[in-house]
Structure 1
Amino acid sequence: MRYYHLPVFAGPEALVLDRRETPRPAAREVLVRMRAWSLNYRDLLIAGGRYGRGMKADVVPLSDGAGEVVAVGSQVTRWKPGDRVMSVFMPRWVRGPATDAKVAVALGGTVDGVLAEYVTFDQDAVVATPAHLSHAEAATLPCAAVTAWHALVTQGGLAAGQSVLTLGSGGVSVFALQFAVAAGARAVVTSGSDAKLERLLSMGAVAGVNHARVPRWGRRVHELAGGGVDHVVEVGGAGTLPQSVRAVRTGGRISVIGVLSQGEGLGPVALLRKAVTVQGMQVGARETFEEMARAIAVHRLRPVIDRVFPFSEARSAYEHLASGGHFGKVVITADR
């Protein structure tokens, strides 16, 4: 079978396509023929050696993939050949709150990921694909979608009539917008592109702000929400957090997810004055993933895919994501 690995952490150009024997499932494992994969900003950081310590040497990259079970081990009870499944980002995190042990292992980082034609998973480390989704659509869910759901619904208790702020048009933000609209919440969006703002508004956002033209966009969002938003899905990091604090209502919640921008940080006074809850987000447990997948099936939600690349052109997919021009998710599909 073919697979990709990173002999050195020197950026997407270090990605190597190679061959090795197709693995066989152990007693509790399933063998999945992978049909599609998706990229996250994390994958760019890992490829460039900028994600932090603890990365597996010569790692097989990517956490997000979907395919069908082709073989099962002797002790597998949850799956059978032909079942369509998706990878779980942190395979040891099945349920409950995060712990050091549960989050110690993450696909494509501390252990090998899924950018291979066949991958073995523990039977507890995959989730059933919603019937209405293609493999390509399903491959977008394990990281970005679960993170958005975990932030807004599992931890945030999102309710109809509340307001949500999303930043930009990457995977987490677009999923957060879709979940907010499905829940009957009012979504305010930001982008540096008027064209992208129009797309976000067409998806159900009630208002948008071009942050390139309105540097102090936090005040504008606060006004548009009639006194601040209930939830902020904060993917920018230090560079955007001060504006997110201005945008949120007193007693609101900011879910800190991304580190896309640089800045000088934020003092505690603004947080104290507004009694803001700031939560750092991990992706989420398998049970959170399953709950989200059920909701996606009920609402017939479809992930937004920006562009699809064949498996043989995985490096080009990395480069496209790095360009920052995408809207939604960048996907790789099997090319044979």
Structure 2
Amino acid sequence: MTPRAYQLTPGQGLASLEATTRPRSALEPHQVRVAVRSVSLNYREILICRGDYPAPPDRPVVPCSDGAGTVVEVGPAAASAWAVGDPVVGSFFPHWHDGEPTPEAIAVTAGCNVDGWLAEEVVVDHRALVRIPAGVSHTTAACAPCAGVTAWVALFETARLQAGATVLIQGTGGVAMWAARLAAASGIKAVLISSDAAKAATLQTPGGVTLNYLERPDWSEEVLRSTGGRGVDLVLELGGNATIRESLRALAFRGQVAVIGGLGGWTYDSMEYLQLITKMATLHGLYVGSARSLAELLTFVQQHQLQPHVAARFAWDDAPAAFRLLEAGRHVGKIVIDVA
């Protein structure tokens, strides 16, 4: 039976998403064939559809960077690492296995310039896979490679937050959801900023603070009040130009801003550089992480029995509806497509 897949053409909108089939190809020695069980969506998929993301526009691509499944065939050079039946999840960057990032390591991303996971079967380099720990479901693992790793790297690898620290989280999407879950499990106080307080409350943890930035355009003042005037140790900056000014005002001395998104604009012309200077703060770009980071996140998930907040699950035939929900932006957390 020929495996089914979905494909879309970058820059051609959601209307280009269509069901198709992909012929089975023979494995190279270093490759592994995976029967996909679960796929989760990221807003990046919408940006690729719109042509707002650096994806090659000259050919259709199988979308979705985040997927998990079961190994069904192993190439000879991968046999020491994997066996048929192993539960696995794909890394966002197939070529960034460990260590510091390089231009070469982050040049390729699944679902962008190579085919992604929205298929019944995928064939990948065995080093691009991470083993799913016992007790962690395929769904949980499939929600982790992009949004989960981004939150993990921001909180623990870059900012190195400890219990008692405070993180400001913007929005209610996948990164926000994972950041709230990880903060709660680590004793880190979360301040959630959203245009919808009810949605943000879905992710909030005991002792945290939820603010509606539409009702409080000067929300940094409330953040400072809630932290006794100190400010937050880390900002997960997802709003971009619409939020960066208030983010810097809410930041503690020597605090950090992890620039992850630009939903309110990428120009950042509202930034007050004096805040950055006088607080001796650090602002840095963050672009997901390595396969090792994914493995460490999943170990943490296993140890703390964390579950992502899944807003909606869709069957294979309803995948276009999942993308429409993603584009509408009314969900909280993650959207999942059950492949098998």
Compute the TM-score of the two structures, normalised by the length of structure 1: 0.95
Aligned to 2:8: 6
- In 2, Cα distance between the equivalents of 1:170 and 1:300? 21
Residues 55 and 265 of structure 1: CA distance in aligned 2, closer, same or farther (over 3 Å): farther
- Is residue 102 of structure 2 the alignment partner of residue 102 of structure 1? no
Distance 1:191 1:267, change over 3 A: closer
Q: Which runs of 4+ in 1 moved over 4 A?
A: 53-56
* Conserved 8 A contact 2:62-2:117: yes
The equivalent of 2:218 in structure 1 is: 216
**Alignment partner of 1:119 out of 102, 119, 122:** 122
- Residue 293 and residue 55 in structure 1: after superposition, are their counterparts in 2 closer, same or farther (change >3 A)? farther
Deviations 1:203-258 (A, max 9, x none): 33511111121111122112212210011111111111111111111110110101
Q: For 1:322 and 1:2, how far apart are their aligned partners in 2?
A: 24
Q: Indicate if the aligned counterparts of 1:56 and 1:112 stay in contact, CA closer than 8 A.
A: no
Q: Match of 1:75, SS? A: helix
Question: What is the identity, as a one-letter code, of the residue corresponding to 2:72?
Answer: V
Selected match of 1:326 from 302, 312, 331: 331
Match of 1:191 in 2: 194
Deviation at 1:294, TM superposition (A): 0.9
Contact preservation (8 Å) 2:169, 2:237? yes
Matching of residue 147 in structure 1 with residue 115 in structure 2: no
Judging changes above 3 Å, is the alpha-carbon distance between structure 1 residues 172 and 281 closer, same or farther for their aligned structure 2 residues? same
Contact map agreement 1:4 1:116 (CA 8 A) in 2: yes
Aligned pair 1:233/2:241, yes or no? Answer: no
Q: Distance in 2 between matches of 1:58 and 1:194?
A: 38
What aligned pairs does 1:279-318 form with structure 2 within 5 A after superposition?
A: 279-318=284-323
Corresponding letter in the other structure for 2:155: L
1:273 and 1:185, CA in 2 relative to 1: closer, same or farther beyond 3 A? same
Q: What's the offset of the Cα at 1:57? A: 2.4
State the Cα deviation string for residues 136-180 of structure 1 (Å, max 9, x = none): 222110100000001110111110111111112110011011111
Matched with 1:62 is 64
For the residue of structure 1 that corresponds to 2:83, the secondary structure is: coil
Paired residues of 2:148 and 2:174 also in contact (CA < 8 A): yes
8 Å Cα contact 1:7/1:16 also seen in 2: no
**Per-residue Cα deviation, 1:290-311 (whole angstroms, up to 9, x for no partner):** 1111111111111110001111
Partner of 2:177: 174
Counterpart residue identity of residue 32, structure 2: V
How far apart in 1 are the matches of 2:257 and 2:149? 17
Q: Residues 2-40 of structure 1, C-alpha deviation per residue, up to 9 Å, x if partnerless?
A: 111124522212101111222332211110000110111
Alignment counterpart, residue 274 of structure 2, candidates 248, 257, 269:
269
Distance 1:126 1:56 in 2: 28
Offset from partner CA, 1:58-99 (integer Å, 9 cap, x none):
111110000000010011121101111101000110111111
Q: Cα offset for 1:55?
A: 5.5
Aligned residue number for residue 256 of structure 1: 259
- The equivalent residue for 2:48 is 46
State the AA in 2 paired with 1:110. N
SS at match of 1:45: helix
- Gap regions ≥5 residues in structure 2: none
Range 267-276 or range 63-72, more displaced: 267-276
TM-score (norm 2): 0.94
Structure-2 separation of matches of 1:141 and 1:56: 29
Aligned counterparts of 2:199 and 2:88: Cα–Cα separation in 1 = 31
Percent identity between the aligned chains? 38
1:137 aligns with 2:140: yes
In 1, Cα distance between the equivalents of 2:252 and 2:57? 39
Q: Alignment partner of 2:147: what SS?
A: helix
- Alpha-carbon distance change, 200 to 53 in structure 1, aligned in 2, over 3 angstroms: closer
Deviation at 1:121, TM superposition (A): 1.1
Q: CA deviation at 1:186?
A: 1.0
Letter in 1 for 2:246: Q
